């Protein structure tokens, strides 16, 4: 499976935008880019996903580089409730089935009040 | 509330015990997953069921035995576990595990301690 690289941790201030980077230089043409987050003592929660175009939803925006070798998750106005571990995951469609998500270590996002 | 319910939330068992973890989803999904999350380690995919058929077994030791009687229920049967099996066990569901562009919904997990 193609690998992703994320910073171990990032810190931001409340009510400011947060840009979480992810590098995936070995991405293939059929890999979807998924983002999940895990709040303390909870299971992971879906945030957003995309293939080639930038995506927006009520939680966040996903900006995908033109060559698809990197992406950025954007939280437009961080709150204390956004403090979590954020995972950038590539989900390949191999033709024989995608099966489960493979999680890495993610980025621990700290929000300062 | 994600629509995926796991019971029990906490479980303590001895190495000679037999116990089962239960997962139930109320989302009408066809795929269910077991993940293991050990302290300070990434989540590890254990098993995948799609339309009640097991499609992935990620080299999990035989002391973990999954069961998927229908698309809404998933069990993980545990026997003769080791202390290193202590971890958070997470269940997830999705519409169809063969689709790469779909979302997974996770439960809150069962925190297992093996003494």
- Tokens 């996002």 — which residue? A109
**Contact at CB, B98 and A49, closer than 8 angstroms:** no
Q: Which residues of B touch A44 (CB under 8 A)?
A: 43, 90, 92, 104, 106
CB atoms closer than 10 angstroms to residue B76: 23
**Contact at CB, A44 and B101, closer than 8 angstroms:** no
Q: Are B21 and B6 in contact (CB under 8 A)?
A: yes
Name the residue of chain A whose CA is nearest to B104's CA. A46
Q: What percent of chain A has pLDDT over 90?
A: 82
Say what the pLDDT of residue A77 is.
95
Say what the pLDDT of residue A98 is.
59
**Contact at CB, B90 and A44, closer than 8 angstroms:** yes
**How is residue B107 annotated by DSSP?**
-
Interface test with A, best of B104, B105, B110 (most A CBs within 10 A): B104
Measure the CA–CA gap between A105 and A6, rounded to whole angstroms. 8
Per-residue pLDDT of chain B (115 residues; tens, 9 = 90+): 889 999 999 999 999 899 999 999 999 999 999 999 998 789 999 999 999 898 888 889 999 999 999 999 999 999 999 999 999 999 999 999 888 888 999 999 999 999 9
pLDDT digits (tens, 9 = 90+) for A21-45: 999 999 988 899 999 999 988 999 9
């Amino acid at each position: 499976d193609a690998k992703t690289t994320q910073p171990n941790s990032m810190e931001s201030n409340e009510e400011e935008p947060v840009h979480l980077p992810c590098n995936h230089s070995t991405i293939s043409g059929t890999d979807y880019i998924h983002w999940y987050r895990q709040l303390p003592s909870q299971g992971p929660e879906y945030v957003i996903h995309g293939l080639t175009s930038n995506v927006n939803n009520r939680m966040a925006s996903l900006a995908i580089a033109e060559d698809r070798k990197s992406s950025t998750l954007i939280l437009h106005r961080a709150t204390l409730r956004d403090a979590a571990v954020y995972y950038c995951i590539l989900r390949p469609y191999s033709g024989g089935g995608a099966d489960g998500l493979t999680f890495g270590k993610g980025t621990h996002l700290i929000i300062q009040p | 509330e994600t629509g995926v319910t796991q019971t029990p939330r906490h479980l303590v068992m001895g190495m000679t015990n037999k116990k089962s973890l239960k997962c139930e989803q109320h989302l009408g999904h066809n795929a269910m997953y077991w993940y293991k999350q050990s302290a300070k380690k990434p989540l590890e995919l254990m098993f995948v069921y799609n339309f009640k058929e097991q499609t992935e077994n990620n080299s999990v030791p035989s002391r973990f035995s999954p069961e998927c009687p229908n698309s809404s229920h998933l069990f993980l049967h545990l026997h003769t576990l080791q202390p290193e099996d202590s971890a958070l066990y997470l269940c997830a569901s999705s519409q169809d595990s063969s689709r790469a562009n779909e979302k997974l919904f996770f439960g809150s997990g069962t925190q297992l301690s093996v003494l």
